[in-house]
Amino acid sequence: IDSKYCQEKGIIVSNVRNYASFSVSEQVFTLLLALRRNLIAYQQYTQTGLWQKSDIFCSLEFPNHDLHNSTFGIIGYGVLGQAVEKLALAFGMKVLIAERKGIDEPRKGRVTFDELIETSDVISLHCPLTVETRELLGAKE
């Protein structure tokens, strides 16, 4: 949103807090399951008839990764980050909460940003785009 333009034109821009936490967290896991289970590749594999030609009862053409026992990193621990954490824990995932980037001494219950990047199997962002978060993840990460 071009905040400057809106301000000049008298257009009110506001953030709706605590909105859609169930919808957003469920969408995170919809996408996560699709990616970790290679849903699109298997769907296309089935549509083209290749699955039916398999000599075994299933297809092992594409990698599958369990959510259980994998590490889920959350950047941004507001209402949405906390809702996502609940679902991750329900799937049996280990959850890491990132401290702000550049802080070497994380608060209780958090890990450094770099530790989260290095040790997470999956990372989900739930922070607003601000001057501080712009380009939060780059080529190094």
Q: Are 67 and 91 within 8 A, CB to CB?
A: yes
Q: How confident is the model at residue 3 (pLDDT cuts 50, 70, 90)?
A: confident
Q: What percent of the chain has pLDDT over 70?
A: 100
| Structure tokens, 46 | 């089935």
Report whether pLDDT(53) > 90. Answer: no
Sign of CA dihedral 44, 46, 50, 56: positive
Provide the whole-model pTM: 0.82
pLDDT value, residue 67: 96
Task: Please give the average per-residue pLDDT across 6-13, as a whole number.
Answer: 94
Q: With bands split at pLDDT 50, 70 and 90, how would you rate the model's confidence at 79?
A: very high
Angle between helices 21-36 and 79-90 (to 10 degrees): 50
